[in-house]
Structure 1
Amino acid sequence: MSLLHHDAQSEALAQLSCFRGEFYSCLTARSDALFELADAVLCGDGPVRSLAELSLVGEHRRGHGGLYAAVARGRIDAGWLRRALAAVPLPRAADGRLVLAIDVTCWLRPDAHTSSQRILCHTYGRGKDQHISVPGWPYSIICALEPGRSSWTAPLDALRLTPGDDTATVTARQLRDLLQRLIAAGQWQTGDPDILIVADAGYDAPRLGFLLGDLPVQVLARMRSDRVLRRAVPPRLPHTQGRPPRHGGEFVFGQPDTWSTPDTETVTDTRLYGTARARSWDRLHPRLTHRSSWAAADGTLPIVEGTVIRLDIDHLPSGATPKPVWLWWSGTDATAADADRLWQAYLRRFDIEHTFRLFKQTLGWTSPKIRTPEAADRWTWLILAAYTQLRLARPLAADRRRPWERPTPPDRLTPARVRRDFRHIRPKASCPAQAPKPTRPGPGRPPGRKNTRPTPRHDVHTPRKTPAAKQRTKKSTTPRPRRTG
């Protein structure tokens, strides 16, 4: 082993031990049981199926009763843990920029009638390929993205959406709090490139850009293909009477005759998508109205200008017919290099889907049948802390592959491969949890006495909708473009 490699491993072990100490300090009640529960998640032999099975892992020195009590009645200082996650080393793009991806993933609880604060969560492809709503707990999760071909991300925050929350307002507040923590932790300093926030079409990108306009951030999000934006107002001619217009001509995504000549155009050969053609148009904005997320705004609504990028590719890896991707960027005066950098950053947004899949299928985030939303939040923070330890242990992990698996270079190990070796890394890192004290089981309910306090049942929260003036009997085959944002 070279001296440089030894120094890198020593630094990685020090960072892992430091985070484990910070994580233990965040546990303010039943800290030992919660800390060992996170270790059991990391050291299990296979995917996590239930909480009771985690009590059988050797690293968990307590019984299943103490494990469930820790999840139900433990306490985690979420603010402290958020600051600890923001202080660990984070991945950066080639230009040193932080790239954050935000998305909502759901913990579905359709049969948990005794669980409160459940919301109808939109799901894809369930049943007979139908998009239906299932009761559950939606979580808004923010991750820092890595450049290049990697499935790793760096989860930084998780927030459960409660009934009645306005998604746009909650998302903006969550991003603002995270950005302030990153700046306080020294992850961004004066002179650094602006932090890039990447989101999908479910987010109102112009509103996010407007609400976060006082911070060093740029917003990049996909827009639906039926949107209509407006150009800047042309110069006013002399001796023109009447009220000056606030919006220029229309830019209809579905009508190429309204696009005009693009400001930039690039062609790039890609490995998965063939030839990628990116065109951008500068200073386009949506025509805002006093409804939806802007309903509470007073006075004249702002003009939120940005750059629109259209990405066309030759083919998809799945063989499906590729559709154009429309992106809206909160910056203006984009160059050809900016357009290429932005659409490539958007494609890296799909790495967050790999993180969600690992949370659910390997770390068992949605496997426990937890009753209260507070316990669900507690378990969610344990999963984020466990994943962060996997990321910090990457330089220390060896490839413990199965006999039928291909060898993987040490710098290309996936999170699941690193988890296989964490049991051998754990003894080298700090372990502040104390050994359990001997106790005797409680008396429990006396024999023959029935439960006189049944668990209350809760309805699923459904948003109230105003009655439509006219109900359509058949879906239109030629939908009109959305001219307001």
Structure 2
Amino acid sequence: MLAGDHTGWGRPHAKTLKDRSFVHQPNLVEGNKPIVLGHDYSTLGWVPEMSGSWAIPLCHERISSFETAAQRAAFQLRQVCRDLSVRPIATYDSEYGSAAFMNLTEDIPADLLLRLRPNRCLYKAPEPYSGSGRPRKHGDKFQLANADSWGDSSATFSLEDETVGQVQIQQWSDLHFKKASQRHFQVIRVTHPHCSGLWLAWVGEQMPTLEQIWRLYLRRFAIDHWNRFAKQRLHWTLPQLLTPQQALRWSDLMPLLSWQLWLARQLVIDTPLPWQKPQTNLTFGRVAQGFAALLVRIGSPACSPKPRGKSLGWKSGRKRDPYPRFPIIKNALLVPKRSTKTSLIPNPKYSPFHSLGFAQFSILWVTFPALF
């Protein structure tokens, strides 16, 4: 099972950092927009367990300013699926539940479990062809916010969960987006007393049962735990690096550190702090907390640092050139402009001689009387 998401690395004061754009970041000040200047990174991780917070990143790459998060996520999923011998299940948040992501992943051998925003408008399958005119691509509208447009569900299931209580699950079949009419999928609605409704879309071959599919999507939140762990414990966003290449090389260390912690989870002894409870299944943080004792036992392959003496410093008289400043990249929706081409049909109310003065008009009238 795979889980994908993207997160921002805020660099609001780095004027010399190239390719900065507006990325999402929660803002503590009420009323302000949750954005910041910086770089956006897309992560695709492997969720090895059906419980717990472990998610091992397979791809962790920067999203450039000339591509979207959906394009980078589709590229990562295509790369990972080439090396897999089984068909994976990839889960994504509501930002990827769109027609654009559906079209980008059409040729990827993977099943998708996507979350849908509650204001989406889908379309049912069209009626059979009547024999005249162009065949219809879309049927009736299926608005997630309008219960009158849903119709009867194709399957219903209810269960009693120990954590959330009574859970009601409904399924509708053969729906599609307007701009991705070739990809039909199943829509699942999950409700319980503390949630107004969770909308999911299954795109793939053999769909799991309704009892299993909503629990599969809950495993997607493991990638959010890893993003928080990388920022808070691995100090991923702490360095103030100068170039995007340096930031990318530093970011490549985060998956390597995560894999080391995952492989060492059975070798590390739990060393809880005085206010922490002992754990049987160690998390990312608890393995990192006891990793120092493991390093003492196995040692380090690195050589001892050698003294190099004092640096010569900046040469006297050498000019200090300021580092170039780069503009902020703002991606906006491009609205097509109106055509400025002149018409080839002459306007009878306008003559090219209207712009001439009396003297120029008199000279032309005497010299070229045939024109008039």
TM range (shorter): 0.7 to 0.9
In structure 2, what is the equivalent of residue 10 of structure 1? none
SS at match of 2:5: strand
Q: Distance in 2 between matches of 1:371 and 1:256?
A: 52
The CA deviation at 1:211 is: 3.5
Answer yes or no: is 1:375 the counterpart of 2:243. no
Q: What is the identity, as a one-letter code, of the residue corresponding to 1:376?
A: A
- Residue 175 of structure 2 contacts residue 184 of structure 2 at CA under 8 Å; is this kept in 1? yes
- Residue 208 of structure 1 contacts residue 219 of structure 1 at CA under 8 Å; is this kept in 2? no
Change (3 A) 1:148 1:244: closer
In structure 2, what is the equivalent of residue 108 of structure 1? 10
Q: 1:221 aligns with which of 111, 114, 117?
A: 114
- Residue 307 of structure 1 contacts residue 331 of structure 1 at CA under 8 Å; is this kept in 2? no
Change (3 A) 1:108 1:227: same
Answer yes or no: is 1:461 the counterpart of 2:352. no
SS at match of 1:359: helix
Q: 1:313 aligns with which of 169, 180, 192?
A: 192
SS at match of 1:202: helix
The CA deviation at 1:247 is: 1.5
Residue deviations 1:83-121 (CA, integer Å, cap 9, x gap): xxxxxxxxxxxxxxxx11111111100011111111111
Q: 1:195 aligns with which of 79, 85, 88?
A: 88
The CA deviation at 1:304 is: 1.0
Q: Distance in 1 between matches of 2:69 and 2:106?
A: 18
For structure 1, which segment, 122-131 or 106-115, has the greater mean C-alpha deviation from structure 2 after superposition?
Answer: 122-131
Q: What is the identity, as a one-letter code, of the residue corresponding to 2:322?
A: P
The CA deviation at 1:214 is: 3.7
For structure 1, which segment, 159-168 or 111-120, has the greater mean C-alpha deviation from structure 2 after superposition?
Answer: 159-168
In structure 2, what is the equivalent of residue 243 of structure 1? 134
- Residue 209 of structure 1 contacts residue 218 of structure 1 at CA under 8 Å; is this kept in 2? no
In structure 1, what is the equivalent of residue 47 of structure 2? 145
- Residue 153 of structure 1 contacts residue 352 of structure 1 at CA under 8 Å; is this kept in 2? yes
Residue deviations 1:1-54 (CA, integer Å, cap 9, x gap): xxxxxxxxxxxxxxxxxxxxxxxxxxxxxxxxxxxxxxxxxxxxxxxxxxxxxx
Q: Distance in 2 between matches of 1:468 and 1:323?
A: 39
In structure 1, what is the equivalent of residue 82 of structure 2? 180
SS at match of 1:303: strand
SS at match of 1:324: strand
Q: Distance in 2 between matches of 1:439 and 1:102?
A: 45
Q: Distance in 2 between matches of 1:217 and 1:199?
A: 13
The CA deviation at 1:248 is: 1.6
Q: Distance in 1 between matches of 2:39 and 2:238?
A: 13
Q: What is the identity, as a one-letter code, of the residue corresponding to 1:452?
A: R
In structure 2, what is the equivalent of residue 399 of structure 1? 270
Q: What is the identity, as a one-letter code, of the residue corresponding to 2:287?
A: V
The CA deviation at 1:390 is: 0.8
In structure 2, what is the equivalent of residue 277 of structure 1? 168
Change (3 A) 1:229 1:258: same
Normalising by structure 2, we get a TM-score of 0.83
Answer yes or no: is 1:349 the counterpart of 2:191. no
Q: 1:161 aligns with which of 47, 63, 66?
A: 63
The CA deviation at 1:397 is: 1.0
Identity rate, percent: 30
Q: Distance in 2 between matches of 1:323 and 1:147?
A: 28
Q: Distance in 1 between matches of 2:127 and 2:231?
A: 52
Change (3 A) 1:418 1:129: farther
- Residue 108 of structure 1 contacts residue 137 of structure 1 at CA under 8 Å; is this kept in 2? yes
- Structure 1 or 2: larger helix share? 1
Q: Distance in 2 between matches of 1:235 and 1:468?
A: 36
Q: Distance in 2 between matches of 1:332 and 1:341?
A: 15
Change (3 A) 1:160 1:233: same
- Residue 27 of structure 2 contacts residue 35 of structure 2 at CA under 8 Å; is this kept in 1? no
Q: Distance in 1 between matches of 2:202 and 2:315?
A: 65
Cα RMSD (Å) of the superposition?
2.3
SS at match of 1:387: helix
Kindly report which structure 2 residues correspond to 1:67-86, keeping only aligned pairs within 5 A, or say none.
none
* Runs of 5+ unmatched residues, structure 2: 338-372
Q: 1:419 aligns with which of 288, 298, 319?
A: 288
- Structure 1 or 2: larger strand share? 2
Q: Distance in 2 between matches of 1:349 and 1:378?
A: 26
Normalising by structure 1, we get a TM-score of 0.65
Q: 1:133 aligns with which of 32, 35, 43?
A: 35
The CA deviation at 1:311 is: 1.0
SS at match of 2:95: coil
- Residue 283 of structure 1 contacts residue 332 of structure 1 at CA under 8 Å; is this kept in 2? no
The CA deviation at 1:269 is: 2.0
Q: Distance in 2 between matches of 1:405 and 1:150?
A: 17
Which is bigger in relative contact order (C-alpha 8 A, separation at least 6)? 1
The CA deviation at 1:129 is: 4.9
The CA deviation at 1:142 is: 0.8
* Runs of 5+ unmatched residues, structure 1: 1-98, 289-300, 316-321, 470-485
Q: Distance in 2 between matches of 1:457 and 1:170?
A: 27
The CA deviation at 1:404 is: 2.5
